[in-house]
Structure 1
Amino acid sequence: MTAALLFGALVGVGVFWLIRVFTRPRPGVAATLARIQRGQRSMTPHTTTAYERARGGGAMDRRARSAFAGLADRLEALAAERGWELGQQRADLALMGRTRGTHLATKVSIGLGLFLLAPFIWTVLSIAGVPLPPALPAVVALALGVFGFFLPDLALRSEARARRRDMRRSVGVFLDLVAMNLAGGRGLPEALVTAASVGDHWSLIRIRQALANARLYGTTPWAALGDLGAELGLEELEELSGALVLAADDGAKIRASLAARAATLRRRELTEAEGEEGEKSQSMLVAQMLLSTAFLIFLGYPAVAQLLRA
């Protein structure tokens, strides 16, 4: 009886908060200012792939995306009103080109889906005649719901780590290009814009957008690079911004500094790649040792069994 009352109260609280989320919130001053600031950072914050542009979808898919977008918008307004900054996840979301509302909507959707999966399976098994204790689906549903709620955080962290590593490689190439443009006689602002315009990789697009916004807002390009590094959680861009500020108008020193930083980034990437390969080699060695041990146990078990019988 106590367990039933407890689980009923938890379900009631969950339904109450779900209704609160789906009801249209009244955005306050904090929510409005947060949306304005997000709109000022970039007019196109998300770089779509060719697959995303070519993907169509039926009416059911469009309705599902529309409902998901509505939930994300409500959660975005709720997060702005409550002041939820999400800590390190904010930089990861900015790096992946996602909003807080989209991330929170994903967490709620996956958590709710896994929460409802356990009662569904329990119902199917009960209809099939499989005896199960009544309290089991509630415990499993809570565990799956919590796991599903935090699963997008783990996926976001892994994706952001890989994308931040890719961004660091692009920053090293960008520094080499800036140094070459400076050696060709261009000024520093022009060299930055030219180096960011050589390709359509998503990282160069983000840098190009930051430089374009700096020109519109009347700020310096190196300040824009520092703001982009702070937004994405990329220390290399912040250090580059500080170095450009200190270097001032001395072009020769800027070229030497940029070349040294590019070489440092390449050495760091090479060291990290060697470390990852070493970890993979160790993992393969452990797997081979386990297989060899299992094979030896398989060969020796009949003889040991015969000795024990004797």
Structure 2
Amino acid sequence: MNLVALGVVALIVVIAAIVLVIVGLRETRDAVDPLEARMAEYVDVENLQSLEQIEMQQPLTERVIIPLARRLGEIALRFTPQNALEQTAHKIELAGSPRGLEPTTYWAARFGAAIGVAAFLMFIYSIGSLNWSLGRKTMLLVVFSVIGFYIPELLIRSRINRRQDTIRKAMPDALDLLTICVEAGLGFDGALAKVTEKWDNELSLEFGRVLREIQFGKLRREALRDMADRIGIPEMTSFVAAVIQSEQLGVSMAKVLRIQADQMRIRRRQIAEEKAQQAPIKMLFPMGLLIFPALMVILLGPAAVQLMRSALGGLFF
């Protein structure tokens, strides 16, 4: 009897233990992890995407073309002299680093343009009915490939010229604002910050970069000299030299800025006068090629028709 009672008690204890284990596991499983709860507040788990899905949502240029261009640029850099690479990097800085352009991408664009032009001509040869010799086709292919190779160079030079003209035109007004801010009691860095805050152009972007470099620990004169190198115009070089000299000699910064602003304004007027004097010369080519022939046709056309219909015209026609 005692054995039966002990067996029943043991069975009850085992069943109770199993029930407690099951309940404990269920409570543990149903309990909310604090870390998961915190993440759920900021992340929608149902809308989580894999890395492949995120990459497929990007444009084709960022997924395929740009990585391929960088790879081609890296291959091209192996055969490019170091001096040419430094010149390319400086040229990109002068252009303002459009769209984060890098030397590898630039050289890839040049070689890609040459290959693309050559492929286009080969396609034209294949579908056309040109009875040219192989040597003539090859020469034309080489010539147009060279032209395609220099197209990115022409584009970046045009970008440099536009950027430098924009900065040159904005400098007198920017220096006036700097002068007003300095005379009002701001320091030179504060005046640069005010110009950066009020304007949104190439010059204000360069001023903002100078301020960031100063905040990162670079000396002001070094940051200003680097800015002059990135812009590459004599007016900016003169301005930076005057500011550095004023800082070293203790001359009034407001006076120096006002003198520089007057000089920049005079220089801007001189450049405008030079362009105005060059305008008639630049107009000769379009006038001689486009306007004068049409004008001659309008003026002499009726007389030529009358001459053809007259008796005198009958002697010749």
TM-score w.r.t. length of structure 2: 0.67
Q: Specify which of 76, 88, 112 is matched with residue 115 of structure 2.
A: 112
Which structure has the higher relative contact order (CA within 8 Å, separation 6+)?
A: 1
User: Can you list the C-alpha shifts for 1:248-286, whole angstroms capped at 9, x where unaligned?
Assistant: 378874223312322332333344345445655662765
Q: Which runs of 5+ in 1 are unaligned?
A: 1-55
Deviation at 1:229, TM superposition (A): 0.9
Any stretches of 5+ residues in structure 2 without a counterpart?
A: 1-56
Moved more, 198-207 or 141-150: 198-207
Q: 1:74 to 1:215 in 2, by over 3 A?
A: farther
Q: Give the distance between the partners of 1:158 and 1:291, measured in 2 at CA.
A: 32
Using the alignment, how far apart are the partners of 2:191 and 2:111 within structure 1? 45
Counterpart of 1:296?
Answer: 299
Q: 1:140-196 deviations in whole A, cap 9, x for unaligned?
A: 111110111112222222221111100122332321221111111122233233333
Aligned equivalent of 1:214: 214
Provide the C-alpha distance between the structure 2 equivalents of 1:104 and 1:230, rounded to a whole number of angstroms.
Answer: 22
Q: Closer, same or farther in 2 for the Cα pair 1:65/1:85, shift >3 Å? A: closer
Q: 1:172 to 1:102 in 2, by over 3 A?
A: farther
Helix, strand or coil at the partner of 1:217: coil
Q: Alpha carbons of 1:145 and 1:94: their partners in 2 closer, same or farther (altered >3 Å)? A: same
Give yes or no for contact 1:196–1:205 (8 Å, CA) kept in 2.
yes
Q: Decide whether aligned partners of structure 1 residues 169 and 227 sit closer, same or farther in structure 2, where only a CA change above 3 A counts.
A: same
Classify 1:106/1:207 alpha carbon distance in 2 versus 1 (closer, same or farther; 3 Å).
same
The equivalent of 1:44 in structure 2 is: none
Decide whether aligned partners of structure 1 residues 100 and 254 sit closer, same or farther in structure 2, where only a CA change above 3 A counts. same
Cα 1:309–1:267, aligned 2, differ >3 Å: closer, same or farther?
Answer: farther
Contact kept, 8 Å, 2:163 with 2:202, in 1: the verdict is no
- Give CA deviations for 1:122-145 in whole Å, capped at 9, x if unaligned: 11014xxx5343333212111110
Q: CA deviation at 1:213?
A: 0.9
Partner of 1:200: 200
Asked if 2 retains the 8 angstrom alpha-carbon contact of 1:91 and 1:232, the reply is no
2: CA distance, partners of 1:293 / 1:147? 36
SS in 1 for 2:128: helix
Matched residue count = 249
Which whole-Å deviations, capped at 9, do the CAs of 1:182-236 have from their partners, x for residues lacking one? Answer: 111122233233333333334312221123213323312x431222112331222
**Residue matched to 1:243:** 242
After superposition, residues 12-23 of structure 1 pair within 5 angstroms as: none
Q: Confirm or deny: 8 A CA contact 1:226 1:237 kept in the other structure.
A: no
In 1, are the aligned partners of 2:243 and 2:256 still within 8 Å (CA)? no
Show the counterpart of 2:223: 224
Rate the CA distance shift 1:279–1:301 in 2: closer, same or farther, 3 A: farther
User: What secondary structure, in the 3-state scheme, does the structure 2 residue paired with 1:186 have?
Assistant: coil
Give a deviation string over 1:4-36, Cα, whole Å, max 9, x none. xxxxxxxxxxxxxxxxxxxxxxxxxxxxxxxxx
What letter corresponds to residue 200 of structure 1 in structure 2? D
Q: Measure, in 2, the Cα distance between the counterparts of 1:93 and 1:133.
A: 41
Residues 227, 238 of structure 1: 8 Å contact kept: no
CA distance in 2, matches of 1:206, 1:160: 14
Amino acid of the structure 2 residue aligned with 1:62: R
Structure 1 residue 70, shift from structure 2 partner: 2.3
User: For residues 289 and 263 of structure 1, do their structure 2 counterparts lie closer, same or farther at Cα, with a shift above 3 Å needed?
Assistant: farther
Secondary structure of 2:198's partner?
Answer: coil
* Identity %, equivalent residues: 17
* Equivalent residue, structure 1, for 2:69: 68
For the residue of structure 1 that corresponds to 2:267, the secondary structure is helix
**CA distance, structure 1, for counterparts of residue 112 and residue 222 of structure 2:** 39
Within a 5 Å distance, the mapping from 1:97-246 to structure 2 comes to 97=97, 98-126=101-129, 131-220=131-220, 222-246=221-245
Larger Rg computed on CA atoms: 2
Q: Distance in 2 between matches of 1:67 and 1:184?
A: 53
Aligned-partner residue type, residue 106 of structure 1 = A
Please, what TM-score do these two structures have when normalized by structure 1? Answer: 0.68
Q: State the distance in 2 between where 1:179 and 1:136 align.
A: 64
Structure 2 CA distance for aligned equivalents of residues 249 and 65 of structure 1: 47
Equivalent pair of 1:177/1:195 in contact (CA under 8 Å): yes
Distance 1:304 1:217 in 2: 84
SS in 2 for 1:224: helix
